[in-house]
Structure 1
Amino acid sequence: MPVPRQVFIAVIGAGGVGKCFLSQLSQLTSNLARSPSAPTTLSLVWLSTSKKAVYHADYKPLGNWESDLEASTSPTLPLPDLASYLEKAPGKAVLIDNTSNQDVADSYPLFLRKGISIVTPNKKAFSSTSQLWRDIFSAASNGTGAGGYIFHESSVGAGLPVLSALKELVETGDQVRKIEGVFSGTMSFLFNSFQPVAGGGGKFSAEVKTAKDKGFTEPDPRDDLNGLDVARKLTILARLAGLEVESPTSFPVQSLIPKELEAVASGDEFMARLPEFDDQMDELKTAAEKEGKVVRFVGSVDVPKGEVKVGLEKFDTSHPIAALKGSDNIIAFYTERYGDNPLIIQGAGAGGEVTAMGVTGDLIKVLRLLQ
């Protein structure tokens, strides 16, 4: 019988995605323990939120993480101390960052250089400055370094295999010409409701309210409507396609926040005043209808021209982007090999379970590489 190996797991973030991931981790742990060829013991030794943490100095696995976290009065450690704690674990360690925290993202090179692998949906690590991007991949073993491994499939498209598909296209020598799609579940839902292919649809402000009530938007919908979430995803894709993109604010990004409402004090005030500007969006809808088209919020990367942009565009009603349903994402890769018929990846691009699935899938990739 093969001797089980032990891998130590640290998780930062126990919110929506974090909870779903911990549930999937529990299932994965029991599956791997029973593997006849390479039994692996996954030991959850660290769990933290922004305020508190649960861990043992001797790396004893956590028991019931939910009640342990609830009962904990231990403050979370500074990130360099967490890196030292994991570096001294009696085996390989993997950090799972289920946050969107910039400070955690900034510390990735430190963890990687200490041999700690990282799995994360945190877009900020890969869409901030190009310097942070270089520092991360010059430290990682799956970059140009000799440290831990890093995977971030869920930073674009939740559980959809967007990044792995793009990496394979590039690594096998295909020429990526253009990447285009709807990259936000929020914006997808919003415009599929605002201007359905069959016609109709409600006022823009009413559709934003519906999206907010259904939990599709951030607590303050301006965080979706400013286009920055999509710009971050486009930055990641453009960099993987070989473009030098300095940051998500270094290319044109159309904000759907009326100028007059950019500085209002709260999300509630923003929602209360948004109906004043419905006429502007109605004009766009009417103009598109006259051309037999619909308006959608898309992002695109033109690789030969080195251009990245995010904003509203009109599409024929027969176009796959126009026909999208609900809050689905759609990403089209136009490449030399695929010609005029792009490789299309489509499906749920948001939600705790599917995002966590992408994280769990990445953890499995790391575990294979650590064997």
Structure 2
Amino acid sequence: MDLFSISLVSHQVGDRPGVGGVGNAFLEQLGQLSNPPKLVLLARSTQTLLSPAPAYSPCIPFTQWEDAANSPSLAKSNALPPAEIAAFLASAPGRAILVDNTSDLALAQAYPIFLERGISVVTPNKKGFSEDISLFNDIFSSAVRGNALVYHQCTVGGTLPVLSTLRDLIATGDEIIRIEGVLSGSLSLLLGEFMPGNGTSSAQWSSLVSHAKDIGHTEPDPREDLNGLDFARKLTIIARVIGVEVTSPESFPVESLIPFELSSLPSSAEGIAQFMSELPKFDAHMDAAKNAAEKQGKILRYVGSIDVPTGAIEVGLRHVEKGSPISDLQGSQIVSIYTKRYGTNPLILQGGGGGGEITAMGLMADLLKVMERLK
């Protein structure tokens, strides 16, 4: 039997105990495998659980890990730095795999340390693949040197097979000409409600943002969605995967939907509250953008695009044709891929990509692919 040891690093959400919605769903799905790997390390924001060396037994139970955390059979520690996690995994039995379910930049910057030691990486963390391009290159060169694997399908489009499809197109000799799409479920939902593709709406932009925040369809600080940076990170990853060199997400135009007058508010709870209370004062700006689209008989959407021949990348509000796939979006994501083979009829990937169980499924799929390739 092939032996694999895995480590899950997952941050708890706010003050709630646990490893977050995605982390808990991932552990549940691990427990459903017929031949699961051994979970030897489970790290969260405040605590690390370790299967005691040198025997690495008992392993951490997938679904009863919280009960096991209170027993003396597992070693416990405060949050460990990445280098110590790598050292622990490097000595664990079998092939080791790091499952990073955080958005932590410091951990992403340490991927080369793991990979050099033969520890494969599975992650939805966009930071390692969208920060400075030197880190992106170092990650994959380290994987080659360490004979390890890197799977990050969920960094773009949730569980939509965006990156794997692009890699397949390139590997089979197709030429990618243009990529266009909506890669933010939150902005897709907000714009779809603000200006439906097949109807009208009188809802004010600020009220839609407030409601989406209240029901958890945006980040706790909606500015993390509205500034477009997360969207820009995804386009950066796509561009690099298809061979367009992008130094950073700040190296191309990204239109922020945060009013300039509110852009300097602090990221504290007080700053979030002030932003939400003052946002209605700027509804006229979004109303004007919607009216401009209506005058042209088009629909307002937040769109990103990559023109491969010129290397031009843009993210921002666009007027799209009524009846087009993008105009009908309301919460889902879409990527249209124009290639030499597909001509003027693009390959379209569309669907929802978020939520704890769905994202966990994407992580699980990547983990199973890594385990299969490492056999």
Calculate percent identity across the aligned residue pairs: 49
Establish whether residue 334 from structure 1 lines up as the match of residue 338 from structure 2.
Answer: yes
Find the counterpart in structure 2 of residue 346 from structure 1: 350
Distance 1:311 1:77 in 2: 39
**In angstroms, what is the RMSD of aligned CA positions?**
1.3
Distance 2:188 2:100 in 1: 26
SS of 2:178 mapped into structure 1 = strand
The answer to whether the 8 A contact 1:183-1:349 is kept is no
The answer to whether the 8 A contact 1:45-1:55 is kept is yes
- How far the C-alpha of 1:68 sits from its partner, in A, is 3.2
**For 1:63-142, what aligned pairs fall within 5 Å after superposition?**
63=61, 64-69=64-69, 74-141=77-144
Q: Which amino acid aligns with 1:8?
A: S
SS of 1:249 mapped into structure 2 = helix
TM-score by length of structure 1 reads 0.93
Is the deviation greater in 102-111 or in 199-208? 199-208
Find the counterpart in structure 2 of residue 202 from structure 1: 203
Find the counterpart in structure 1 of residue 7 from structure 2: 10
Distance 2:309 2:355 in 1: 33
**For 1:143-292, what aligned pairs fall within 5 Å after superposition?**
145-197=145-197, 198-265=199-266, 266-292=271-297
- How far the C-alpha of 1:76 sits from its partner, in A, is 2.2
Cα deviation code 1:43-86 (max 9, x no counterpart): 11110112211112322211321233477862122211111111
Distance 1:351 1:252 in 2: 29
TM-score by length of structure 2 reads 0.92
Find the counterpart in structure 2 of residue 62 from structure 1: 60
Find the counterpart in structure 2 of residue 359 from structure 1: 363
The answer to whether the 8 A contact 1:315-1:322 is kept is yes
SS of 2:351 mapped into structure 1 = strand
- How far the C-alpha of 1:282 sits from its partner, in A, is 0.3
Distance 1:68 1:191 in 2: 45
Find the counterpart in structure 2 of residue 295 from structure 1: 300
Distance 1:139 1:280 in 2: 47
Distance 2:70 2:195 in 1: 45
Find the counterpart in structure 1 of residue 30 from structure 2: 25
Cα deviation code 1:236-290 (max 9, x no counterpart): 0000111110000011000010010012241111010000000111011011111
Distance 1:138 1:269 in 2: 45
The answer to whether the 8 A contact 2:117-2:146 is kept is no
Q: Which amino acid aligns with 1:246?
A: T
Find the counterpart in structure 2 of residue 47 from structure 1: 42
SS of 2:180 mapped into structure 1 = strand
Q: Which runs of 5+ in 1 are unaligned?
A: 34-40
Alignment length (residue pairs): 354
Q: Which amino acid aligns with 1:369?
A: R
Q: Which amino acid aligns with 1:17?
A: V
Distance 1:242 1:43 in 2: 36
Distance 1:201 1:303 in 2: 38
Is the deviation greater in 73-82 or in 292-301? 73-82
Distance 2:316 2:66 in 1: 41
Task: Please identify runs of 4+ aligned residues in structure 1 that moved more than 3 A.
Answer: 68-73
The answer to whether the 8 A contact 2:50-2:76 is kept is no
Distance 2:320 2:69 in 1: 49
Establish whether residue 311 from structure 1 lines up as the match of residue 316 from structure 2.
Answer: yes
SS of 1:353 mapped into structure 2 = helix
Distance 2:21 2:132 in 1: 27
Q: Which runs of 5+ in 2 are unaligned?
A: 11-18
- How far the C-alpha of 1:358 sits from its partner, in A, is 1.1
- How far the C-alpha of 1:201 sits from its partner, in A, is 4.3
Cα deviation code 1:102-150 (max 9, x no counterpart): 0000000000000001100000010000000010010114xxx343101
Shift in CA distance, 188/111, structure 1 to aligned 2, threshold 3 Å: same
SS of 2:348 mapped into structure 1 = strand
SS of 1:140 mapped into structure 2 = helix
- How far the C-alpha of 1:18 sits from its partner, in A, is 1.2
